[in-house]
Structure 1
Amino acid sequence: MHERRGSRHSNVRSVVENGWVTIVLARNSPTEVVASSVDAHGELLGEATVLPFDRLAGFVAEREGAPEPERWVWSDSSRWYGDLLNAGVRVRRCHDLRLSHAILRNSTLTAHTAFARAEPSAWDQPVEPPSAHVAPVHSTLFDLGETMASGRSAAREDSAAEYRRQLQALAEVPDAGRLRLLLAAESVGALIAAEMRHAGLPWRTEVHDALLTAELGPRVPYGTRPARLEELAGRIRGILGDQSVNPDSPQNVLKALNRAGLMITSTNRWELAEYSHPVIAPLLEYKKRARLLTANGWTWMDQWIIDERFHPDYVPGGAATGRWATSGGGALQLPKQIRAAVTADPGWKLVVADAAQLEPRILAALSADTAMAAAGRGTDMYAGIVASGVVESREHAKVAMLGAMYGATTGESGRLMPKLTRAYPRAIRLVEQAARAGERGEHVTSWLGRSSPAPGADWQEAQRLASQPGASAAEESRARSRARDWGRFTRNFVVQGSAAEWALCWMGEIRNGLRAIEERSSTPPGRLATASGAVFESLPHLVFFLHDEIIVHTPEEHAEEVAQTVTEAAAFAGRLLFRDFPVDFPLGIAVVDRYSEAK
């Protein structure tokens, strides 16, 4: 570790710890930013730099180009990083205080610390991400802590103080390596989310329009039913003999079906599919096409596709398990009907990759079940389970495994569970123990340290009533049902949460690998300029993520190298989390022009 004096911008001092310089950024006023160097314990080093907001990008760019790269500490990547990207500046590494705060406040690993036991503060309040359709407004860039304090030193010290508190909490955790890795992975995920939002997913509106026209009929004014839907609506009314049926109203449809003698209790497509009646097929077809119109129709295209790019609002850690969510655009639900619209730019390719049977492989590693890991080594895991003689078919293997992870105890899954338990006792024991903990209202924790939330007030009240002397049979039954439901959640939480951690590490290493390709690239800047913006105009970059699947948009000349990078990153993520445990993380990978061609 050594000290380096500040640049010509300021008197900022920096301590290099493990090759990284740490600088806390905080909003000082509507027009000023404070940059404070801190040491390995989060303690401030001398006087901070105060600079106008319009000089922040230059300051960050210069520091990123210094011999020792920076670790930027800031309140919320979704509030800070977009403006830097718009100014053409990327950062290598950050510590996202808001995301890290949520993990440390709720993890069972930190439950004994003063940090976890402290009264709620502004850092515990949710922050709405900025809209993808509103240009960055400097006055909206703020530091969470500054809502609680005024004055230069108070604003400066709150983010630094929060960083110190987080470091202290980590220092109080024995063997905190996994938890530190989780915070680093969560923070780099926030950078990736901002970069993907900035670059956008390549989109062709003319292709999208043609796909919608083929599925729905020509475009009509908003609020008007397209021709194909109107045709299906007519068929539904004719079969039911009722011209008043409105297929867009579930209540109306349900009443019409009941009048026709179908004692259906909901219009859920799974329930509808169980019935044999001439109206079922056109009704299911109508629901499918109407969903496309509502979720990804012309109105969606007008709102979300800007300059041939889809810019969704990703929300890292948006689900309790750590999976991402979206606050707009529905990036996590792009139906197959429109994937052909996701098209690489001329001279570019899409590298599409998804992790095969990710959650079962994660379960094998979590439980150290070597027999289950061996079933997937070098092959499709479900096929490997069949080859091991555990079940008769790949479909049986998939049903049984999903039942084990999601708590299905009846039907085909329930029948197959004993076979799975005998073959893979460690894996099944782990999810069963997680389920029992949930039924008792206890927390469970992922591999790196994210913990499940406590059950809600309704759950607590149901258990309280059932435990009272003289509790009724109905109250006891309700409590057992609620307990089982929460047990199914915690059963899956440990697997899904750990899979989300693997995915973050995978993407983080892909990002590192793409940067290495960039540094070796001889492609002149601007030769393959795209609508992805100046930051990514000629370089491979991540543009899409969905739980266990990614897309990289890359110049064609780098496509094979990118595919290799993505593959190696999956293996690296496995070693990073599970060291030398013998579990594979194979990918399905394709280099294509259109997303629809990948599967």
Structure 2
Amino acid sequence: MEITRLAVGVCGRRNLPTVDEGDDTGSLPDIAGLADLPVDHGAPLALAIATDTGAAIVTARGDALFVEPADIAAAIEHLDAAHSPRWVWWSKDTARHLLDLHVRVAKCWDLVASHRLINGGWQSDSDRIWAAAHRLDIASIPTDAPVDLFTHDLDEGDPDQPVRADGYLRPDWVQGGWASAPQRLEAWARLAMQVYDLHHSTIRSPADDTLGPTPDPARRERTVWSESAAEMLCAELERDGLPFDRATGESIIAGFVGPRPANVLEEREQLERRDAEVLQHLPPGIDFDLRSPDQVKSLLRRVGIEVPDTRAWRLERLVDAHPIVSPLLDWRRAERIRTTFGFAWVDEHVGADDRLRGHWSGSDGAAGRMTATAGLHNMPAELRPAIAAEPGHVFVRADLGQIEPRILAAVSGDAALARATHEDDMYLTVATRLRVERDIAKVAVLGAMYGQTTGKGAEALAGLEREYPVAMGYLRAADEAAQGGNDLTTFGGRRVRMSGSVSDQMTDSDVRSRAAARGRYGRNAMVQGAAAEFFKMWAVLVRARGAALGAHVVLCLHDELVVHAPEQHGDDVAEVLERCLQETAHRWAPAADPAVRFVADTSVIRRWSEAK
């Protein structure tokens, strides 16, 4: 393997000796050329990859190594196996590059993830990450706009250096200029290491300007590790896809909308036939556009049904009011399949390898949940039979049980609520304590977490305040802080931004309404945000522990994990999921007496529809 090492001077840091291009370090199967790179076990290694240019690796002490494109995979695999480093990179784009080379590493520190933890938000580019880490004005980040009569470029620095004279990153570097030459790759990796140092120092510092308990620095660092690994898992989910039985999927779609049309004319005829099945219940000559909610309301009014909207749950209550309602509901289900999950959806998102793929994000905002496009997170239950394990494989599916109230017990430190988690059905335990029916207790607990103070569970809220004052006080404190426009911090240490701005045009009622909405948002974010952090830690532990059994996570859906595994290892992988859940509780949840119990409903299945 041919390794070229570059020595680019950095003040106060030692560089490896330069090896001239063309020097042969030997085609060494043991990658002996990497032996000169001093790497401590588990230490951070900054990595910048450009497929056609090569890769630059920088140690925490500033030692630098450049690797030719053909040798990247072997070098990364060697370093990962030999030293178990924590790879530092700007975003999961680097993980995508590694996957292009068929390389999967064990650990990483994703600067998008650590920036999100420190500063809030969910997605950021390198220029914003750099500016925030160096306390530069985000609003003044330069853009690569053309100079004209109304603008002028104040930067007078060296364009071959990534940082401008004013301290910001150069826009052309941010937009990909960093990948154009080996020296630039190394400079980009050095910048990543510099931001890592700043982020690491901030995360380990006990100081925090958000409201609420100061997060434990060690827990906060573990959160960065798991959030970073979740970003890496997102890249793998994009690459691997979800196994899809094309024949079954298309058969289900055809059952709703008819066979795949051969042309536009045939498709139009199918639409007209489906519309006619609804409109035949009207007098002849009367026509309505079923795809217009306003016209559907007019249609219903014509047959004597007055509704404020045409939501499905509302129409379902009116199926006996007129014969048109039932076929209208059937039409809507078929139309949703046609427009969102029809044949065009299969053609666009299911590859030749029968894998369903979408774009994955590691955090969706305040809730912090993993999200996906291409219908992976809102697929109708009717289509789940098409999600089928490949021959010789099974799905191991696990769904966290009553996760949000269990999380509330953990983050609030309420001993009474923690004792309730020791039961499989903690809502029943709470109901017994409140002397109400289980359904009432469930609605009350969820209402407390979502800020719902009216309705079915309202009367039980007083009981919750009496029986679980610590948990209710935790939610109330988050509500009050958010109403005041103060940023919050989740249990894992992630900042949740709150806006407290008020315009001159707002009435007192508007101000109170906005503050109340922020309060509900805040208390919800503190529970859902922590639950998302818990789930991601569990998912990435399963990713790590299941690899030896050939198991791969193929779907993360809110509180549900689906793993694709060889059939002979199905039961063993199920045990891995359970062990990882307990390991997550040990790593994430605080030491408490009594400890909070977390549970999951786990099953080994062949099709997603077989899950309970």
TM superposition score category, shorter chain reference: 0.7 to 0.9
What is the SS of the residue equivalent to 1:408?
coil
In structure 1, the partner of 2:431 is 386
| Kept in 2: contact 1:349–1:554 (CA 8 A) | yes
How much has 1:442 moved relative to structure 2? 1.6
Cα distance between partner residues in 1 of 2:142 and 2:456: 43
How much has 1:504 moved relative to structure 2? 1.2
In structure 1, the partner of 2:293 is 250
Correspondences of 1:192-341 after superposition (within 5 Å): 192-221=233-262, 233-241=275-283, 243-273=286-316, 275=318, 277-278=321-322, 279-306=324-351, 307-326=353-372, 328-341=373-386
In structure 1, the partner of 2:137 is 119
| Kept in 1: contact 2:410–2:590 (CA 8 A) | no
How much has 1:436 moved relative to structure 2? 1.9
Cα distance between partner residues in 2 of 1:146 and 1:119: 22
5+ residue gaps, structure 2, are 1-13, 18-30, 122-130, 144-171, 208-215
| Kept in 2: contact 1:106–1:116 (CA 8 A) | no
Structure number, greater radius of gyration: 2
| Kept in 2: contact 1:254–1:267 (CA 8 A) | yes
Alpha-carbon displacement from aligned partner over 1:90-134 (angstroms, at most 9, x marks no partner): 101111112212222239xxxxx9838432289999xxxxxxxxx
Cα distance between partner residues in 2 of 1:147 and 1:158: 14
| Kept in 2: contact 1:216–1:226 (CA 8 A) | no
Instruction: Select the residue among 55, 58, 73 that pairs with 1:33.
Output: 55
Cα distance between partner residues in 1 of 2:263 and 2:235: 32
State whether structure 2 residue 102 is matched by structure 1 residue 88. Answer: yes
What is the SS of the residue equivalent to 1:333?
coil
| Kept in 2: contact 1:364–1:370 (CA 8 A) | yes
Mean Cα deviation higher: 543-552 or 24-33: 24-33
In structure 2, the partner of 1:580 is 591
How much has 1:341 moved relative to structure 2? 0.9
Cα distance between partner residues in 2 of 1:480 and 1:506: 39
What is the SS of the residue equivalent to 1:95?
strand
In structure 2, the partner of 1:59 is 75
| Kept in 1: contact 2:49–2:97 (CA 8 A) | no
Cα distance between partner residues in 1 of 2:340 and 2:206: 45
In structure 1, the partner of 2:602 is 589
How much has 1:274 moved relative to structure 2? 5.3
How much has 1:371 moved relative to structure 2? 1.8
Cα distance between partner residues in 2 of 1:545 and 1:29: 29
Cα distance between partner residues in 2 of 1:124 and 1:179: 31
Alpha-carbon displacement from aligned partner over 1:445-504 (angstroms, at most 9, x marks no partner): 21011122222xxx7235x555xxxxxxxx122222222112111110000000011101
What is the SS of the residue equivalent to 2:67?
strand
Percent identity over the alignment is: 29
**What letter matches 1:316 in structure 2?**
G
What is the SS of the residue equivalent to 1:550?
strand
| Kept in 2: contact 1:26–1:35 (CA 8 A) | yes
In structure 2, the partner of 1:187 is 228
| Kept in 1: contact 2:551–2:565 (CA 8 A) | yes
Alpha-carbon displacement from aligned partner over 1:381-429 (angstroms, at most 9, x marks no partner): 2222234354213x22222222111122222132332233222222222
Q: Tell me the matched-pair count.
A: 531
Q: 1:8–1:379: structure 2 CA closer, same or farther, 3 Å change rule?
A: same
Correspondences of 1:145-184 after superposition (within 5 Å): 152=184, 154-173=187-206, 175-184=216-225
Cα distance between partner residues in 2 of 1:460 and 1:271: 37
Correspondences of 1:490-505 after superposition (within 5 Å): 490-505=522-537
Cα distance between partner residues in 1 of 2:297 and 2:305: 9
Cα distance between partner residues in 2 of 1:123 and 1:573: 39
State whether structure 2 residue 117 is matched by structure 1 residue 103. Answer: yes
Mean Cα deviation higher: 359-368 or 213-222: 213-222
Q: 1:143–1:377: structure 2 CA closer, same or farther, 3 Å change rule?
A: farther
Q: 1:143–1:303: structure 2 CA closer, same or farther, 3 Å change rule?
A: farther
In structure 1, the partner of 2:28 is none
Give the TM-score normalised by the residue count of structure 2.
Answer: 0.79
What is the SS of the residue equivalent to 1:372?
helix
Correspondences of 1:345-424 after superposition (within 5 Å): 345-393=390-438, 395-424=439-468
CA root-mean-square deviation: 3.1
Cα distance between partner residues in 2 of 1:341 and 1:575: 36
How much has 1:148 moved relative to structure 2? 7.9
In structure 2, the partner of 1:50 is 66
What is the SS of the residue equivalent to 2:86?
strand
State whether structure 2 residue 577 is matched by structure 1 residue 566. Answer: yes
**What letter matches 2:299 in structure 1?**
A
5+ residue gaps, structure 1, are 108-112, 126-141, 467-474, 519-538
Q: 1:14–1:322: structure 2 CA closer, same or farther, 3 Å change rule?
A: farther
Cα distance between partner residues in 2 of 1:217 and 1:183: 48
Correspondences of 1:449-598 after superposition (within 5 Å): 449-455=493-499, 460-462=501-503, 464-465=504-505, 475-515=507-547, 517-518=548-549, 539-581=550-592, 582-598=595-611
| Kept in 2: contact 1:122–1:145 (CA 8 A) | no
In structure 1, the partner of 2:155 is none
State whether structure 2 residue 434 is matched by structure 1 residue 434. Answer: no
**What letter matches 2:461 in structure 1?**
M
How much has 1:187 moved relative to structure 2? 0.6
Q: 1:244–1:145: structure 2 CA closer, same or farther, 3 Å change rule?
A: closer
Q: 1:173–1:143: structure 2 CA closer, same or farther, 3 Å change rule?
A: farther
Q: 1:149–1:566: structure 2 CA closer, same or farther, 3 Å change rule?
A: closer
Cα distance between partner residues in 2 of 1:91 and 1:9: 20
Cα distance between partner residues in 1 of 2:602 and 2:341: 26
Q: 1:574–1:453: structure 2 CA closer, same or farther, 3 Å change rule?
A: same
| Kept in 2: contact 1:12–1:37 (CA 8 A) | no
How much has 1:277 moved relative to structure 2? 2.9
| Kept in 2: contact 1:336–1:596 (CA 8 A) | yes
| Kept in 1: contact 2:434–2:460 (CA 8 A) | no
| Kept in 1: contact 2:77–2:103 (CA 8 A) | yes
| Kept in 1: contact 2:349–2:357 (CA 8 A) | yes
Q: 1:485–1:124: structure 2 CA closer, same or farther, 3 Å change rule?
A: farther
Cα distance between partner residues in 2 of 1:122 and 1:331: 37
| Kept in 2: contact 1:229–1:290 (CA 8 A) | no
Cα distance between partner residues in 1 of 2:141 and 2:551: 35
Q: 1:227–1:359: structure 2 CA closer, same or farther, 3 Å change rule?
A: farther
**What letter matches 2:225 in structure 1?**
A
**What letter matches 1:584 in structure 2?**
R
**What letter matches 2:296 in structure 1?**
V
Cα distance between partner residues in 2 of 1:499 and 1:373: 15
In structure 2, the partner of 1:70 is 85
| Kept in 2: contact 1:438–1:487 (CA 8 A) | yes
Q: 1:258–1:52: structure 2 CA closer, same or farther, 3 Å change rule?
A: farther
